[in-house]
């Protein structure tokens, strides 16, 4: 028994009121006039036993009335145990991540997913009559396959419909999903998780896995705890290829779960469009890695579907290959507009483009006077290097090209200090910062104070470390992304999205006068990555991981992209690994991004008209089949023993709460009626015996 408002029990102190009425307050009589008292005999009036009993009964009723009122305001309740299994929601979660495609092992037939589905069907068959259940799939993300229903056929169909997945399991996502579900489902829930309990599925923070208080977690582990497995962990290959002889493919072969004496020799093959063009053997140490290098990549012109494969010699053949896409084409031209007096900038920039590992671009220098009738759509991107102005025809053409998906690199050198308008970028240039004119206390230059290394143009440039900047233009970035700033906060590299394209502004020069970047080793990496980014190769080249996203349209135009694309007919087109189109016509006209949910090759046409072949591979962590230690699993489930069958857990007792307020108030009413009847009888006029 408990009380919701126990402080009202202090009202029981009012029980002294009936004590005062019955014991301390004396009975008074009305004086009557008589002629003389000499004929009266002095005596004491006695009370009968029946009269005393009735007064005690009235006292008891009044005392009980006060006690019951105080008890009623304290809101008493009772806890009692029930064993109604139908009040508990049964949840069956099946892990369909990529690792569940491995063989079950032992005497169990099929894959780990097949074993998990058989266990889930067994649990659903043992649920109590009238009990609701729900089926959940747990792969790259938590998916509710059914609503809470009693229909056994619907539940079985949902379990049997779960197919092999390519995503990475995430137990942290399961914990977050269950906590969100507990906010709307307040009844007890019993969650049965069928998984290989892969250690790589654990989040960095164990608290993300913790279940809410009304969820009882029952773990069902499938497959063996430690299974030897060899896989192609990663592949480095060029996304675009010009010279097939200079191409280089580097593959990392990893071994997981093998004993110290289980070093293995694997045959590694390079496959292009289904044909094996090269083969090598490599010794893979136990629980280690080995590297294989293929020099040269003989692919035809156009897009090729390539892969690195190893011979299958384990229970998990699905991860024995890693896909990548290569596009072979002639070098793309880059238009470099510069002043006639500036011969340094095109020299340094062109040398950096040629020094790249896979030189996919050819520089075409030109002065502004010669660029009036140039068509920028024929170039991978355009560079405006420290030009005070460009012909209006060229500027309008460049602006239209950028809105349609093209890109421009604007280099704002010292010549920009004499004007305000920046071509194509559209911003204003204030007074430049001449760090070389500093005082004696200053060093005469500035360095980069902050760099966003997640920006594609800076990911290999080491944040311009060690570069000295003697001059930088003062440009207001507005809403554009600032990828790098100097030590005094001056924006150095600004990325502005215009329509479907980009305008990248570098607030210094490329002539080795405003800075020493062209002599810094980071310059080649900066030019190479900037060229790949502005040409669009960075967005579509290489391989992606399952469940990653690819940008279909410029996110800066989310409000107007759908209407603009519909008006221009600029819909995207996606063909998945199964040869089907995953987007409807409505989605293709408005979708901003697309999630690559399956492994294989995606053929994509973007909103700006560019085509790309994107290779998608499962997460490499799924190849390590090592299971979570038993003590961690026990901590997660909150149980020190093995998982109980559903028939036993269904009969588990739960606590229910019942309020006793109505019963107490009923007693108060009865006591009040009895007290009123007795009090009216005692307070009447009583005849006294003479």
DSSP notation for 635-661: HHHT-SSPPPPHHHHTT--EEEEEE-H
| Average pLDDT value for residue range 498-505 | 87
Per-residue pLDDT of 482-498, as tens digits, reads 999 999 899 999 999 88
Q: What DSSP character marks residue 22?
A: I
Asked whether the predicted pLDDT for residue 275 surpasses 80, the reply is yes
Rama region for 110: left / alpha / beta (φ>0; ψ in -120 to 50; rest): left
Per-residue pLDDT of 81-140, as tens digits, reads 554 556 789 999 999 999 999 998 777 788 999 999 999 999 999 998 889 999 999 987
Asked whether the predicted pLDDT for residue 601 surpasses 80, the reply is yes
Highest mean pLDDT among 350-359, 426-435, 630-639 belongs to 630-639
- Residue 684 CB neighbour total at 10 angstroms: 7
78-101 residues labelled b (16+ CB within 10 A) or e (exposed):
eeeeeeebeebbbbbbbbbbbbbb
pLDDT confidence of residue 689: 37
Using alpha carbons, select from 464, 502, 470 the residue that is nearest to residue 485.
464
pLDDT confidence of residue 562: 45
pLDDT confidence of residue 559: 44
Taken in order 459, 461, 465, 469, the sign of the CA dihedral is negative
Whole-structure pTM value: 0.70
Across the chain, which distance is largest between two alpha carbons, in Å?
Answer: 151
pLDDT confidence of residue 92: 96
Contact 306, 237 (CB under 8 A): yes
Q: Given the structure tokens 């304290």, which residue do they identify?
A: 74
Task: Provide the percentage of residues in the chain whose pLDDT is more than 90.
Answer: 41
Contact 65, 76 (CB under 8 A): no
Contact 371, 424 (CB under 8 A): no
Contact 191, 217 (CB under 8 A): yes
| Contact residues for 42 (Cβ-Cβ < 8 A; gap 6+) | none
Average pLDDT of the residues of the chain: 82
Secondary structure class of 308 (helix, strand, coil): strand
| Average pLDDT value for residue range 251-257 | 91
Name the residue with higher pLDDT: 60 or 129. Answer: 129
Residue 642: alpha-carbon gap to chain centroid: 31
| Contact residues for 170 (Cβ-Cβ < 8 A; gap 6+) | 138, 140, 141, 201, 203
pLDDT confidence of residue 154: 95
**What six digits make up the tokens of 135?**
């089926």
Asked whether the predicted pLDDT for residue 158 surpasses 90, the reply is yes
| Average pLDDT value for residue range 450-465 | 86
Highest mean pLDDT among 53-57, 262-266, 575-579 belongs to 575-579
Q: Which residues pair with 594 in a beta bridge?
A: 550
Name the residue with higher pLDDT: 42 or 220. Answer: 220
Secondary structure class of 675 (helix, strand, coil): helix
Asked whether the predicted pLDDT for residue 25 surpasses 70, the reply is no
Q: Given the structure tokens 């009964």, which residue do they identify?
A: 57
| Average pLDDT value for residue range 302-311 | 93
pLDDT confidence of residue 254: 92
pLDDT confidence of residue 23: 60
H or E element that contains 497:
strand 491-498
CA dihedral (199, 203, 204, 208) in degrees, to 10, reads -140
Q: Which residues pair with 475 in a beta bridge?
A: 429
Q: What DSSP character marks residue 446?
A: B
Asked whether the predicted pLDDT for residue 684 surpasses 80, the reply is no
Asked whether the predicted pLDDT for residue 663 surpasses 90, the reply is no
Contact 500, 556 (CB under 8 A): no
Give burial (CB, 10 Å; 0-12/13-18/19+) of 458.
buried
Beta strands in 39-171 (DSSP E): 76-82, 89-95, 133-138, 142-144
332-338 β-sheet, strand order = 361-366, 332-338, 381-385, 407-411, 501-506, 491-498, 481-486, 448-451
Rounded distance between C-alpha atoms, residue 679 and residue 61, angstroms: 10
Asked whether the predicted pLDDT for residue 674 surpasses 90, the reply is no
pLDDT confidence of residue 176: 92
H or E element that contains 67:
helix 49-73
pLDDT confidence of residue 354: 86
Pairing of strands 264-272, 302-310: antiparallel
Give burial (CB, 10 Å; 0-12/13-18/19+) of 357.
exposed
Name the residue with higher pLDDT: 616 or 569. Answer: 616
pLDDT confidence of residue 403: 86
Phi first, then psi: what are they for 259, rounded to 5°? Answer: -70, 170
Name the residue with higher pLDDT: 140 or 363. Answer: 363
| Contact residues for 378 (Cβ-Cβ < 8 A; gap 6+) | 333
Rounded distance between C-alpha atoms, residue 276 and residue 272, angstroms: 6
Name the residue with higher pLDDT: 302 or 107. Answer: 302
201-215, 436-450, 550-564: least confidently modelled range: 550-564
91-95, 172-176, 659-663: least confidently modelled range: 659-663
């Amino acid at each position: 028994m408990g009380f919701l408002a126990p402080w009202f029990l202090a009202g029981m102190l009012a029980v002294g009121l009936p004590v005062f009425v019955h014991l301390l307050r004396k009975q008074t009589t009305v004086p009557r006039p008589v002629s003389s008292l000499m004929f009266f005999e002095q005596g004491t009036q006695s009370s009968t036993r029946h009269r005393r009993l009735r007064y005690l009964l009235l006292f008891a009723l009044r005392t009980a009335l006060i006690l019951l009122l105080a008890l009623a305001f304290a809101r008493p309740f009772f806890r009692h145990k029930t064993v109604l299994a139908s009040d508990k929601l049964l949840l069956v979660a099946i892990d369909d991540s990529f690792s569940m495609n491995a063989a079950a092992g032992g005497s169990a037939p099929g894959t780990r997913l097949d074993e998990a589905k058989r266990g889930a069907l067994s649990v659903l068959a043992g649920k109590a009559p009238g009990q609701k259940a729900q089926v959940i799939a747990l792969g790259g993300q938590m998916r509710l396959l059914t609503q809470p229903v009693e229909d056994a056929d619907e539940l079985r169909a949902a379990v049997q419909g779960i197919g092999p997945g390519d995503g990475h399991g995430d137990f942290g996502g399961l914990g977050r999903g269950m906590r969100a579900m507990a906010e709307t489902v307040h009844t007890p829930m019993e969650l049965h998780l069928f998984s290989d309990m892969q250690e790589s599925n654990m989040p960095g923070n164990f608290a993300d896995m913790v279940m809410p208080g009304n969820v009882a977690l029952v773990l069902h582990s499938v497959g063996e705890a430690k299974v030897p497995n060899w896989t192609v962990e990663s592949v480095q290959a060029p996304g675009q290829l010009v010279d097939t002889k200079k191409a280089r493919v580097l593959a990392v072969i990893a071994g997981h779960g093998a004993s110290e004496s289980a070093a293995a020799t694997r045959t590694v093959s390079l496959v292009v469009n289904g044909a094996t063009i090269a083969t090598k053997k490599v010794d893979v140490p136990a629980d280690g890695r080995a590297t294989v290098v293929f020099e040269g990549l003989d692919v035809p012109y156009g897009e090729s579907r390539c892969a690195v494969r190893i011979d299958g010699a384990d229970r998990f053949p699905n991860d024995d290959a890693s896909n990548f896409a290569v596009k072979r084409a002639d070098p793309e031209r880059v238009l470099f507009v510069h002043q006639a007096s500036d011969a340094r900038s095109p020299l340094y920039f062109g040398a950096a483009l040629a020094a790249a590992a896979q030189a996919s671009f050819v520089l075409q220098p030109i002065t502004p006077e010669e660029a009036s009738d140039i068509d920028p759509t024929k170039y991978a991107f355009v560079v405006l290097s420290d030009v005070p102005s460009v012909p209006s025809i060229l500027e309008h053409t460049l602006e239209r090209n950028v809105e349609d998906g093209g890109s421009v690199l604007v280099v704002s050198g010292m010549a920009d200090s004499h004007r305000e308008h920046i071509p194509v970028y559209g911003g204003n240039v204030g007074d430049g910062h001449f760090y070389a004119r500093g005082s004696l206390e200053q060093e005469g230059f500035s360095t980069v104070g902050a760099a966003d290394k997640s920006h594609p143009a800076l990911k290999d440039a080491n944040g311009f470390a060690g570069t000295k900047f003697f001059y930088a233009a003062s440009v207001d970035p507005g809403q554009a992304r600032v990828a790098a700033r100097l030590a005094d906060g001056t924006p150095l590299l600004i990325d502005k999205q215009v329509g479907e394209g980009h305008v990248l502004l570098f607030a210094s020069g490329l002539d080795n006068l405003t800075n020493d970047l062209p002599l810094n080793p980071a310059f080649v990496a900066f030019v190479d990555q900037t060229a790949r980014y502005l040409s669009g190769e960075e967005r579509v080249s290489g391989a992606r991981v399952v469940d990653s996203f690819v940008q279909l349209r410029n996110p800066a135009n989310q409000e107007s992209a759908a209407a603009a694309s519909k008006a221009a007919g600029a819909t995207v087109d996606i063909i998945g690994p199964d040869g089907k189109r995953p987007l409807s016509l409505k989605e293709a006209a408005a979708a901003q991004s697309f999630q690559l949910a399956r492994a294989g090759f995606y053929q994509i046409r973007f909103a700006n008209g560019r085509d790309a072949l994107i290779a998608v591979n499962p997460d490499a962590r799924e190849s390590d089949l090592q299971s979570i230690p038993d003590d961690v699993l026990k901590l997660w489930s909150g149980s020190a023993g093995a998982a109980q069958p559903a028939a036993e857990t269904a009969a588990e007792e739960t606590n229910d709460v019942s309020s006793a307020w109505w019963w107490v108030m009923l007693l108060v009413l009865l006591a009040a009626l009895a007290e009123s009847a007795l009090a009216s009888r005692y307070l009447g006029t009583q005849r006294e015996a003479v």
